[in-house]
Amino acid sequence: MSLAPAGAVAATRPDARSIGVMVVDDSAVVRGLVSRWVDEDPAMNIVGKFANGKLAVDGIRTCDPDVVVLDIEMPVMDGMTALPKLLEEKPGVQVIMASTLTRRNAEISLKALSLGAVDYIPKPEGNSGVTTSSSFRSDLLERIKVLGRSSALRSSVRAPRTAEVGVSQGQVETAVRPTLRRFSNVKPRILAIGSSTGGPKALARLFADIAPAIGSVPVLVTQHMPATFTAILAEHLGKESGRVSKEAEDGEVLRPGTIYVAPGDYHMAIAKGDGNVVLKVYDGPDVNFCKPAVDPMFDSVSEIFGAATLAIVLTGMGHDGAAGAVRIANAGGSVIAQDEATSVVWGMPGATTSAGACAAVLPIGEIGGKTVRILQGVTS
């Protein structure tokens, strides 16, 4: 079915189970390419494409998409203006922000995540860059597929999933509870956090909650993000927590009360040096298809801090962090994973839970309070 350049609607889906995708971009080349890529995958199909935000807002109810790929810079109505209107017209739709990788667009994308978008993807410069970038194509299609499936799961009827030793009143246990470990009886001397899709919003909530308790420990954060984004994320976490927050620098001595964010395109770990614990920021092969990756950070933390480690795995695609979390738990440390109900994607925390590394699996709204108590030496 051919669609008009400005926007049109696919009347029906070839398969009712396929993921319906709407593309909103002022570039006809981008709309055409993304539409072709999507329609070549039998798991998804294009239900609408639009040249600006106003057309998308007017057409979203008719299109009824599961996922929207939303450009930031467009005439008539830009992506940030359209975002809340799209969410109002179709609550629960999964919105991926797409923009060229500038500091301004990175700032806007992170703001969009706080306003309801679930993910972002850096767009290559120019139409030729979009045309020739195989990584952009594969990354975008993977995000659409994972988020579309996640949306379908979240809309299905199921009980809330909460698992911890001693479920609080009013919470419902899952039919099959994961195997949970005991919390370490050693007071943590470091907090390490890994996250990916949906992570920036979850991190903002977490740091607002734990701010009073992190003055006694250094905090390491690995969030799957490109360069530019990670520097801005560090700034935002500093504002949320009122603590010093920065991109990690190689050789820097760890200081209590400071938040260190792994810089985009580099791994972050820690090592012993001259009687101190120092940061290692290094280039190297992708780990779990990611750079920065959570596992190198978790591995190094488990080796140095052992039972005095507290680790948290938040929402994200894939399984990065699960193997490292097992090493932390085997070394006597404690691991908390975000639960499925409050995760945008229960990939990383789900894999960590399935691996048997966790002492608790909690909603994002409860992780902060639990973390504060553990940092204060209270594990019961």
Q: Which amino acid is at 82?
A: A
Give the Cα separation of 195 and 198 in Å (integer). 8
Q: For residue 204, which of 103, 314, 96 has the smallest C-alpha distance?
A: 314
Q: Which of 71, 109, 151, 224 is catalytic?
A: 224
What is the pLDDT at residue 163? 44
- Return the SS3 of 165: coil
Please identify every stretch of the chain with a pLDDT value under 50, giving residue numbers as ranges. Answer: 1-5, 10-11, 156-175
Which residue carries 């009013």 as its tokens? 170
pLDDT above 70 covers a percentage of the chain that reads 87
What is the pLDDT at residue 125? 75
Q: Hey, where are the domains in the chain?
A: 7-155, 163-375
Q: Which of 35, 99, 184, 196 is catalytic?
A: 196
Give the Cα separation of 130 and 32 in Å (integer). 11
What is the pLDDT at residue 123? 85
Give the Cα separation of 305 and 288 in Å (integer). 23
What is the pLDDT at residue 172? 36
What is the pLDDT at residue 11? 44
Q: For residue 67, which of 145, 155, 122, 154 has the smallest C-alpha distance?
A: 145
Which residue carries 């969410």 as its tokens? 87
- Residue 193 bridge partners (DSSP): 221, 312
Q: What letter would DSSP give residue 161?
A: -
What is the pLDDT at residue 149? 84
Architecture field, domain 7-155: 3-Layer(aba) Sandwich (3.40)
What is the pLDDT at residue 153? 57
Active site residue 224: yes
Token reading at 116: 């309801």
What is the pLDDT at residue 7? 57
What is the pLDDT at residue 378? 82
Q: Decide if 7-155 and 163-375 have a common fold.
A: yes
Give the Cα separation of 69 and 79 in Å (integer). 10
Q: Is CATH 3.40.50.180 the right assignment for the domain spanning 163-375?
A: yes
Active site residue 320: yes
Q: Which of 25, 66, 71, 320 is catalytic?
A: 320
Q: For residue 161, which of 314, 370, 339 has the smallest C-alpha distance?
A: 339
Active site residue 196: yes
Q: For residue 119, which phi and psi values (nearest 5 degrees)?
A: -160, 175
